[in-house]
């Protein structure tokens, strides 16, 4: 069997995946809080762990992998959104879950085996909180149940921080009922305007951290193989998950995986910088979900990922070319061994994509199709955008050739100051019915309704 190695945040080194059950693999990934549409950064862990899901299914078999990704549908942000809009909390969470799944479907993400909602596991959260009190790791105070961080000797070990450092470097809720400022909430009281459930401590609702511990235990057992999420969850969320789960006697996750954050054109994505957008924003602007996926996979998951217009244009050209090559081709029975090996080496998607380029150049189209499918690319479900945007039947290779000539002409013009060849090629391309889009570092040609294949052919015959 293929050996898979993954970087374990907990041990800070790569480890061989050795499933607890030799023939079955289990994975839990923290999902969204459902009050608004997923922004582009939210799509990164979805695409990354979807690719790992595909690899695990390839290696162990489809029926031997269990993947859980939750929905947080009880949260103060959801309550605030309900108050803002006048909609019920259930309306907001149901609607947001549907939009989220629509957007993740668009980027080629398979549905996990289980997608639990936190509100369906309140009983388990109450039981775990009560168990922590009984064992001396948590306490009740003014209708709250709090985990006592000083009761767990290894608290902070996962994220590499001392309690003193965490207090100094974090925003902690200072409350008179807390024994230690770092003690975190397992259960909190609800008023008449806030969702609540009965508990031994009165009507209330769970804290954020307890939900993942309870749902993972219920669906995957006391110990499971892989826990994933963005590295912004390392502390406090995952630190707290480990503490409460270990203290009730669960082994919890063997391997922890965290993806780095996303940037846009070299800067952190934020509304204040005007570079914040959702997955749906890109889709509505005409960026295909498959293009979003390829850009995301082009950077190793443990490195910061920079979304740029240049990467988008290059990914779109690459996918158009690959789709033209596999048109009518039956996929090979198995993906290319080098692609599998790259993914098995800590999910090295960048290296796997480089191998796809090599298969394309070698004209191994059957191998290209089977191997790309392992990364969720060139699938039947995602390929419709090519035929729609190109109008069908166009010569992709010739269009890409003209694009390369335009790029070369512009690069030369920047040095010489003479843009005659650039203008000539732009004019000829438009005369052939191509829409010419030139960014700072990109050249993108797209056929319009007036596309004329013969004129394109004449341009390609003349050359640059």
pLDDT for the residue 172:
59
289: left (phi over 0), alpha (psi -120 to 50) or beta: alpha
What are the CA-CA distances from residue 71 to residues 93, 163, 208, 274 (Å)? 9, 29, 11, 28
What are the CA-CA distances from residue 292 to residues 43, 78, 106, 314 (Å)? 9, 28, 9, 11
What is the span of the domain harbouring residue 148?
Answer: 22-262
pLDDT for the residue 93:
96
CA pair distance 340, 375, nearest whole angstrom: 10
Same domain, 359 and 426: no
pTM: 0.87
Query: Which of 331, 363, 389 is the C-terminal boundary of a domain?
Result: 389
The token duo for 340 is: 């599998």
Residue 118 lies in a domain: yes
Which CATH number characterizes residue 89's domain?
3.40.50.620
Same domain, 247 and 294: no
What's the structural domain count of the chain? 3
Kindly report the backbone phi and psi dihedral angles of residue 133, in degrees, each rounded to the nearest multiple of 5, phi listed first: -65, -50
What letters, b where the CB count within 10 A reaches 16 and e where it falls short, cover 178-191?
beeebbbbbbbebe
Same domain, 68 and 119: yes
Please give the chain's pLDDT, 464 residues, in tens.
899 999 999 999 999 999 999 889 999 999 999 999 999 999 999 999 999 999 999 999 999 999 999 999 999 999 999 989 999 999 999 999 999 999 999 999 999 999 999 999 999 999 999 999 999 999 999 999 999 999 999 999 999 987 666 665 555 566 889 999 999 999 999 998 899 999 999 999 999 999 999 999 999 999 999 999 999 999 999 999 999 999 999 999 999 999 999 999 999 888 888 888 999 999 999 999 999 999 999 999 999 999 999 999 899 989 998 998 998 999 999 999 999 999 999 999 999 999 999 999 999 999 999 999 999 999 988 878 886 665 444 566 677 778 778 888 888 888 898 988 888 888 888 888 888 888 877 787 877 767 776 777 677 666 54
Same domain, 110 and 146: yes
Same domain, 170 and 219: yes
Same domain, 332 and 419: no
Residue 268 lies in a domain: no
pLDDT for the residue 464:
45
Same domain, 171 and 306: no
Residue 270 lies in a domain: no
Same domain, 396 and 361: no
Same domain, 237 and 363: no
Same domain, 196 and 54: yes
CA pair distance 297, 316, nearest whole angstrom: 13
How many C-beta atoms lie closer than 10 Å to residue 240's C-beta? 25
pLDDT for the residue 389:
60
Query: Which of 389, 423, 454 is the C-terminal boundary of a domain?
Result: 389
Query: Which of 351, 374, 389 is the C-terminal boundary of a domain?
Result: 389
Same domain, 354 and 417: no
Residue 299 lies in a domain: yes
CA pair distance 36, 73, nearest whole angstrom: 11
Same domain, 294 and 353: yes
């Amino acid at each position: 069997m293929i050996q898979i190695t993954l970087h374990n945040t907990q041990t800070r080194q790569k480890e061989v995946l050795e499933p607890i059950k030799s023939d079955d693999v289990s994975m839990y990934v923290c999902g969204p809080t459902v009050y608004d549409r997923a922004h582009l950064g939210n799509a990164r862990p979805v695409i990354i762990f979807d690719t790992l899901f595909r690899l695990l299914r390839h290696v162990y078999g489809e029926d031997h992998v269990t993947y859980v990704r939750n929905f947080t549908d009880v949260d103060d942000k959801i309550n605030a959104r309900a108050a803002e809009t006048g909609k019920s909390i259930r309306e907001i969470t149901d609607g947001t879950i549907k939009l989220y799944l629509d957007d993740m479907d668009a980027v080629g993400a398979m549905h996990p085996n289980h997608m639990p909602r936190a509100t369906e596991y309140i009983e388990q959260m109450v039981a775990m909180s009560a168990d922590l009190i009984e064992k001396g790791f948590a306490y009740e105070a003014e209708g709250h149940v709090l985990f006592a961080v000083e009761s767990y000797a290894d608290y902070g070990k996962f994220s590499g921080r001392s309690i003193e450092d965490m207090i100094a470097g974090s925003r902690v809720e200072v409350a008179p009922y807390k024994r230690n400022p770092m003690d975190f909430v397992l259960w909190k009281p609800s008023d008449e305007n806030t969702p609540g459930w009965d508990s031994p401590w009165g009507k209330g609702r769970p804290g954020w951290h307890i939900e993942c511990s309870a749902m993972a235990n219920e669906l995957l057992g006391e110990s499971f193989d892989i826990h994933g999420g963005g590295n912004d969850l390392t502390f406090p969320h995952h630190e707290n998950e480990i503490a409460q789960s270990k203290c009730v006697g669960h082994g919890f996750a063997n391997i922890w995986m965290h993806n780095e954050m996303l940037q846009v054109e070299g800067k952190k994505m934020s509304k204040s910088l005007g570079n914040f957008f959702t997955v749906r924003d890109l889709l509505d602007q005409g960026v295909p979900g498959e293009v979003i996926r390829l850009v995301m996979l082009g950077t190793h998951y443990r490195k910061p990922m920079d979304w740029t217009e240049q990467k988008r244009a290059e990914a779109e050209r690459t996918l158009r070319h690959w789709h033209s090559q596999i048109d009518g081709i039956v996929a090979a029975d198995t993906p290319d061994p080098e692609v599998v090996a790259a993914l098995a080496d800590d999910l090295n998607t960048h290296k796997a994509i480089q191998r796809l380029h090599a298969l394309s150049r070698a004209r191994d189209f059957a191998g290209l199709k089977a191997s790309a499918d392992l990364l969720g690319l060139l699938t039947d479900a995602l390929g419709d955008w090519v035929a729609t945007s190109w109008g069908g039947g166009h010569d992709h290779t010739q269009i890409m050739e003209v694009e390369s000539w335009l790029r070369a002409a512009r690069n030369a013009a920047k040095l010489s100051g003479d843009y005659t060849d650039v203008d000539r090629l732009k004019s000829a391309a438009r005369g052939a019915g191509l829409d010419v889009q030139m960014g700072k570092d990109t050249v993108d040609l797209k056929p319009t309704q007036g596309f004329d294949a013969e004129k394109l052919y004449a341009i390609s015959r003349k050359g640059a």
